[in-house]
Structure 1
Amino acid sequence: MSTSERTMPPLNADDRTGLASWLDFYRATLVQKCEGLDERQLREASAPPSTMTLLGLVQHMAEVERNWFRRVLAQEDAPPIFDPEAGTEGHDGGFDLADDATYEKAHAIWEAETARARENCAARGLDDTSPFMGGRVTLRWIYTHMIGEYARHCGHADLIRERIDGATGV
């Protein structure tokens, strides 16, 4: 599935298909919010006093994908991508933009992280667990958390995009 192709999640599916479909729906929504904009617009913090940008959201979600599906789920030693603090407790990072940051680079990294996430999920059941914060976390919980994370940030992206060029919906 192309990451910018947004497909409505099935109305009647098993839990695994439903959760994965909703996550992919929101992943595609974030990409669609960035389509058609130039680098200057993607770097624009358009809702003062917030410094949040669409490019920063893509970078952030690459960090979040890496954290949950690689560090937590697969227990991989995956270093931060955009922010040296990313992966530390309570900090996913990625919002700040380096001078040489581009959407093309950030999107490619994000694409690679989402592909890796799908691979890491494929061999696991929803109730399989991984160590987390002194306990265990299920893949089901991670999917649910990631859907919420994307939904929240897609709301931010809606507002940022509307302020940039008036585009709404999608």
Structure 2
Amino acid sequence: MPVERIGPPLTGGERETLRAFLDFHRATLAMKADGLSDEDLRRRSMPPSTLSLLGLVRHMAEVERSWFRRVINGEDIPLVWSDEGDYQVAYEASESTRSEAFEAWQTEVEHSRRIEERATSLDLTGYQARWGEDVSLRLVMLHMIHEYARHNGHADFLREGIDGTVGA
């Protein structure tokens, strides 16, 4: 089943626009992996890099968990793939499967959406321990859009290398 990707509103309010751009980029990542086998999804970009589409999906599960659950919601939970807090572990997807990676990612996206929807304001803050600073939900949403956009660029190149699919 093809991934549905809805473009952001052209005249929406701030929160609606941030939410829509974030969902647009989430759908873009899913679209870049659509129709590929586990083997294709594990295919690495070029040595010595371990970057793969499956690794990107795993990484974004970590990023969703970190920013929304750990920072904004203040949950004391480990990363998805590393109890030691090593974000690089997520990129090592050589033994991973589509179902494992996408289930973890989609679970974290659902948590993120609930946290954002329950927040009364984009000015809500959470503590970002890595920076030693409080950050607003607004900053988190903008950071997530940036993170997805950057990695979706990687996904474009990875997908083209797998089967020649480009664009969108």
Q: Tell me the TM-score normalised to structure 1 length.
A: 0.90
Which of 125, 132, 138 is matched with 1:129 structurally?
125
1:151 corresponds to which residue? 149
Paired residue secondary structure (2:57): helix
Once the two structures are aligned, what percentage of the paired residues are identical? Answer: 45
**Distance in 2 of aligned mates of 1:85 and 1:104:** 24
Question: Given that residues 67 and 92 in structure 1 are in contact (C-alpha distance below 8 angstroms), is that contact kept between their aligned partners in structure 2?
Answer: no
Q: Root-mean-square deviation (CA), in Å?
A: 1.8
**Distance in 2 of aligned mates of 1:13 and 1:65:** 24
User: How far apart are 1:49 and its partner, in Å?
Assistant: 3.9
- Amino acid of the residue matched to residue 146 of structure 1? M
Question: Given that residues 2 and 34 in structure 2 are in contact (C-alpha distance below 8 angstroms), is that contact kept between their aligned partners in structure 1?
Answer: no
**Distance in 2 of aligned mates of 1:3 and 1:36:** 8
Paired residue secondary structure (2:31): helix
**Distance in 1 of aligned mates of 2:74 and 2:89:** 19
1:97 corresponds to which residue? 93
**Distance in 2 of aligned mates of 1:126 and 1:92:** 29
Paired residue secondary structure (1:131): strand
**Residues 79-104 of structure 1 deviation map (CA, whole Å, 9 limit, x = unaligned):** 22113343x6xx464111252x1111
1:18 corresponds to which residue? 17
- Amino acid of the residue matched to residue 112 of structure 1? T
Q: Structure 1 residues 98, 51: closer, same or farther in 2, change over 3 A?
A: closer
Q: Structure 1 residues 12, 65: closer, same or farther in 2, change over 3 A?
A: same
Paired residue secondary structure (1:94): helix
1:68 corresponds to which residue? 67
**Distance in 1 of aligned mates of 2:94 and 2:77:** 20
Q: Structure 1 residues 118, 31: closer, same or farther in 2, change over 3 A?
A: same
**Distance in 1 of aligned mates of 2:132 and 2:4:** 38
Question: Given that residues 42 and 94 in structure 2 are in contact (C-alpha distance below 8 angstroms), is that contact kept between their aligned partners in structure 1?
Answer: no
Question: Given that residues 27 and 150 in structure 1 are in contact (C-alpha distance below 8 angstroms), is that contact kept between their aligned partners in structure 2?
Answer: yes
Q: Tell me the TM-score normalised to structure 2 length.
A: 0.91
**Distance in 2 of aligned mates of 1:110 and 1:141:** 21
- Amino acid of the residue matched to residue 77 of structure 1? D
Report how many aligned residue pairs link the two structures: 165
Q: Structure 2: which 5+ runs fail to align?
A: none
Matched, 1:119 2:114: yes
User: How far apart are 1:77 and its partner, in Å?
Assistant: 1.4
Question: Given that residues 55 and 90 in structure 2 are in contact (C-alpha distance below 8 angstroms), is that contact kept between their aligned partners in structure 1?
Answer: yes
**Distance in 2 of aligned mates of 1:19 and 1:85:** 31
Paired residue secondary structure (2:91): coil
Question: Given that residues 6 and 29 in structure 1 are in contact (C-alpha distance below 8 angstroms), is that contact kept between their aligned partners in structure 2?
Answer: yes
